[in-house]
Structure formats: C-alpha cells, structure tokens
Amino acid sequence: MFEAVEDLVAEHADLETKLADPSVHADQANARKLNKRYAELTPIVATYRSWKQTGDDIETARELAADDPEFAAEVKELDKQREELTEKLRLLLIPRDPSDDKDVILEIKAGAGGDESALFAGDLLRMYLRYAERVGWKTEIIDSTESELGGYKDVQVAVKTKGGQTPEPGQGVWARLKYEGGVHRVQRVPATESQGRIHTSAAGVLVTPEAEEIDVEINPNDLRIDVYRSSGPGGQSVNTTDSAVRITHIPTGVVASCQNEKSQLQNKEQAMRILRSRLLAAAQEEAEKEAADARRSQVRTVDRSEKIRTYNFPENRLSDHRVGFKAYNLDQVLDGDLDAVIQACVDADSAAKLAAA
C-alpha cells in the first residue's frame, strides 16, 4: 500500500510545480483539472508525511526508553497515533468516485399510493431542500408536476455547491446524495384517511451527477425536439402557448422534458441539462457493468426497483434496509437532519471497498 503512496507524493510535487507556473493558468480548463487533482492528493500526502514522521519519532522514543523507562509511555502513545494514521491512510487510498465533487439533479416521483404518495414525495423534497440548506448548498427546482392535494407527482431539482467551490474530499453533493437513489417507503395515517388506518405507499428517488457540456458530447443531429402546450396550474404562458419542450436522444431513447419556464428557450435549456445528466449516468452505469461487483455499489443505489428505506411515522422510526441503520428521530430527519443516515451508507460503502481491496 505505502509503495503506491510514494508515487502519489511525486505526482503531488509535480502538480505543485506546474500550478506555480503562470502560463498553466492561461488554459483555465486545464488549470481547474490540475487544481482538482492537487486537492485530491493533498490530504493523502499530508497524512503520509505524518505517518512517516511518527515512525521516526517511535524509533527515537524507543532508543530513549532503553535508557530511561519514563519514555515507555511516550512509545505507547506514538504507537497508537501510528495505528490511527495507518487506518486514516487506508481510507484515503480507497478509489474515489470521479463524480464525487459534481453537482446533482435529484428527481422524485410519486409511486404506488395515489395522493398519499404524491404528498410523501413533497415531504421528501422538503427534506432534501432543508438538508441542502443545512450544509450550504444551492437548490433550484427545474421542473415539477404538482398533485391536487399539494404534493408532487414528479419534481426535479438541481443541487449544487455555492459559487462553484471545490468541496472537501467526500463532501461533494454527489458524494453525499448518491446514496439516496431508490424506492422510499412510508407508513403512516394519510391525511385522506378518515378512520385512522395506517397506509403504506412509496416514492422513487433518482440521483444523477449533473453533467457539464465537456462531460457528454451530444450531436445535435441525434436530437428530436418537440414543443407542446404546458399543463398544470394556471398562470401566464401556461396552457396558452407551445412553450413546453421535450427532447429525445434518438440513439439511446433517453427523453427529458421541461415546462416550468415561461419561454420555450428556457425550457429547452433546462431539458438539455436533464438530458446531459441522464446520458452521463447511463454511460457510467454501462461502464460499471464491466467492473467487479464490489465496485458497483453506487449503481445499485440508483436502481429504482430497490426499496432502500422505510419512514414509519407511528414509531417515529427511519430504517435503511441496505446497511441496517435505524433511528428514532424521523421528525428531525424529515426536517433535513440527514447526516447520520448518509454517513451510515458512506461507512458501509468504504468498508466494502476496503474488504475488496
């Protein structure tokens, strides 16, 4: 393991030299790429240097302890530090998902359960919006179809870091939210239930990394663009003009649509954002199919057929069926307190990758 780190240290030093050259920054795209890689390697290099220094300190302390037993306690403490640094380094060397620092497009669809499912979809949307607010992310609802009772039949929201900042390793939007994809089940007494019976319904969540134009090359000749009249609650430009846009990527059959904006051009731009992200997700899924099972965990998390979580209102309990996580603060989770839930998935994913390494 540590032989490979020396190569990373050398790469880090080389990047540092390149980034100090003003001419490199003339090409902003290349400079961003180099900065991103430098930021990825910095915590690994810093931890490795601490690990090596602790090894030298242990040798010195042992030599001193041979003549003075009082140094034995220091040796024990340094041994403990070295073990902790070794574990930290192992975790840092786990192969990173290249999309971890990307923004995402999160889609929530009502499933089985009629109006109650749409209301639950609205609850999930609020949960993610509040979570994003807690951690300092920006959100933007791209497209939505509301239900008659105030929930959502379908809603798509962009979640992104503020100001284009590069997040800390493991703290990017995709790095945290990629575990949310799947079927979310709710058990509660619906607002429409007059006899107080508990119902079970579900909503599907799909999370895809938002693709930049450089991530996915789309030939305009491969697109079929249809315009149609917007539907939904009344308002200016709704139900009166053909402003809604549906874009079909003919080679793959992937479809994206948007009707929320007032103009056809704005709806087309939003639909293209969705289309690029779906094509990127499809390409990544295809690539993952060729990899070992141990490296396909994130693809499984966006499988809509997988029931990943249950929200039990009578017991105020949340259960994540993938990792066995349970919490009895459902009210707080739905108010955006998702960190413990997500961290349980992150830890399980890291443990699986370590076991497979």
Nearest one of 319, 318, 320, 340 to 329, comparing CA atoms: 318
**CB-based contact 191:149 (threshold 8 Å):** yes
Strand partners, 223: 249
Count structural domains, the chain.
2
Residue 220 lies in a domain: yes
- pLDDT (0 to 100) of residue 128: 97
**Domain containing 80 — which CATH number?**
1.20.58
Tell whether 16 and 157 lie within a shared domain: no
Last residue of a domain, one of 42, 61, 92: 92
Tell whether 10 and 116 lie within a shared domain: no
Reported in sequence order, the residue ranges of 198-275 that DSSP labels E, i.e. its strands, are: 199-209, 223-228, 244-249, 254-258
Distance CA 252, CA 222 (A): 9
Residue 29 lies in a domain: yes
Start-to-end C-alpha separation, the chain: 10
Segment 213-222 long-range contacts (CB within 8 Å, at least 24 positions apart): 213/276, 214/29, 215/276, 215/280, 216/276, 216/279, 216/280, 216/283, 218/249, 218/275, 218/276, 218/279, 222/249, 222/250, 222/251
DSSP codes of every residue in 77-122: HHHHHHHHHHHHHHHHTSPPPTTTTS-EEEEEEE-TTHHHHHHHHH
Residue 98 lies in a domain: no
The sign one gets for the Cα dihedral 279, 106, 238, 110 is positive
**CB-based contact 336:133 (threshold 8 Å):** yes
Residue 278 lies in a domain: yes
Tell whether 81 and 111 lie within a shared domain: no
- pLDDT (0 to 100) of residue 69: 83
In this prediction, the residues of the chain whose per-residue pLDDT falls under 50 are 234-237, 239, 291-304
- pLDDT (0 to 100) of residue 323: 92
Residue 125 lies in a domain: yes
Tell whether 32 and 149 lie within a shared domain: no
- Contacts (Cβ under 8 Å, ≥6 apart) of 176: 135, 342, 346
Tell whether 152 and 212 lie within a shared domain: yes
Tell whether 87 and 157 lie within a shared domain: no
- pLDDT (0 to 100) of residue 176: 93
Last residue of a domain, one of 35, 62, 92: 92
Tell whether 126 and 196 lie within a shared domain: yes
**Domain containing 223 — which CATH number?**
3.30.70.1660
Last residue of a domain, one of 41, 68, 92: 92
Tell whether 37 and 81 lie within a shared domain: yes
Tell whether 78 and 139 lie within a shared domain: no
Phi-psi group of 327: left, alpha or beta (phi > 0 → left; psi -120 to 50 → alpha; rest → beta):
beta
182-188: strand order across its sheet: 137-146, 152-161, 104-110, 199-209, 182-188, 307-312, 317-320, 325-327
| Predicted model pTM | 0.67
Tell whether 83 and 113 lie within a shared domain: no
- H or E segment to which residue 133 belongs: helix 114-135
DSSP class of residue 149 equals T
Distance CA 48, CA 91 (A): 12
Range of the domain at 177: 104-356
Tell whether 341 and 280 lie within a shared domain: yes
Residue 99 lies in a domain: no
- pLDDT (0 to 100) of residue 326: 96
Residue 155 lies in a domain: yes
Tell whether 192 and 340 lie within a shared domain: yes
Residue 97 lies in a domain: no
| Helix orientation angle between 28-67 and 2-19, rounded to the nearest 10 degrees | 130
- H or E segment to which residue 129 belongs: helix 114-135
